[in-house]
Amino acid sequence: MLAVKYGKDNLHTTLSDHELSPNGSIDPYHNADQLHILDTLASSVSQGIEEAGARAVQTRGVDLGRLVTNRKTVVALGQPTEGLWIMNEQVKVASANLGITNPKGKGLKGAWGAHITVNRILEDTTPEVAHPVAELLDGISPIRAGRT
């Protein structure tokens, strides 16, 4: 199976999704009109972190859990700490105040969840190939590396 492995530096949480521009991507290099979107996003993050406060910033983290897969990726699910949750919520509030909208309302839509991508599968896989991988993952103990 052709795949890309990721390391611990890929731990992340998603602030929003790709629905901030009509074509689904923001590329100010090829579309200078989109530079304001990146500027607004940067301001939203800066203001949100400031509003969240030092305690939230100091206690931000993700508790990693079990590995899950679909046909394209393997991820370790994560549970954000209260500090990270507060920071993300304040970024969403700041983005709404700065005029960012999404199809369902004001501000960034929010994250589906904190996680680390462990592996990205680069080729189509059949159920016969994917099933043993899923079984292997079910047998691995949850990642309990503590706060990251």
- φ/ψ bin of 141: left (φ > 0), alpha (ψ from -120 to 50), beta (otherwise): beta
In this predicted structure, what is the pLDDT of residue 94?
94
Per-residue pLDDT reduced to its tens digit, 14-42:
766 656 666 667 777 888 888 888 899 89
Per-residue pLDDT reduced to its tens digit, 43-99:
999 999 999 999 999 998 888 888 888 777 888 888 888 998 899 899 999 999 998
Q: DSSP assignment, residue 132? A: H
pTM over 0.75: no
Query: For residue 120, what is the enclosing H or E element?
Result: strand 115-121
Strands (E), 10-60: 11-12
**DSSP annotation string for 62-102:** EEEEEEEE-SSEEEEEEEE-HHHHHHHHHHHHHHHHTT-EE
Side-chain half-sphere exposure of 19, counting CA atoms within 13 A: 13
Q: How far is CA 134 from CA 68, 121, 139, in A?
A: 8, 13, 9
Confidence band for 1, pLDDT divided at 50, 70 and 90: low
Confidence band for 147, pLDDT divided at 50, 70 and 90: very low
Q: What is the mean pLDDT of residues 114-130?
A: 79
User: Are residues 120 and 3 in contact, defined by beta-carbon separation less than 8 angstroms?
Assistant: yes
Q: What is the mean pLDDT of residues 114-137?
A: 79
Residue 148 confidence (pLDDT) above 50: no
In this predicted structure, what is the pLDDT of residue 18?
54
